[in-house]
Amino acid sequence: MANHKSSIKRIRSNEAKRLRNKYQHKTTRNAIKQFCELTAKKEAEKSLPTIMSMIDKLAKQNVIHANKASNLKSNMTKHIASL
């Protein structure tokens, strides 16, 4: 167990951040899965900006790597082009 007040607070804040990151990451992954299942081009183009912004936020917060974010966005645009 931590001995200092600041380290106890750090443990609490780290846990809160971990849960928030986990929730945002899982929500984004679910949105990407739903996007990949879309077959209508209009629906896919409509949902693309929101999912891309979710990915950008994760990369900005270092939840995912910037290159992974780029790869995800690239694959999504390829998916729309193939429809």
> Concatenated DSSP letters for 45-63?
HHHHHHHHHHHHHHHHTTS
**Contact assessment for residue 8 and residue 2, using Cβ atoms and an 8 Å cutoff:** yes
Tokens of 5: 């007040």
The whole-number pLDDT of residue 3 equals 86
Query: Per-block average pLDDT, block size 10, for the chain (83 residues)?
Result: 89 96 98 95 95 97 97 96 92
Q: What pTM does this model have?
A: 0.87
For tokens 């001995």, the residue is 3
Q: Which fold has domain 5-82?
A: Methane Monooxygenase Hydroxylase; Chain G, domain 1 (1.20.58)
The whole-number pLDDT of residue 63 equals 96
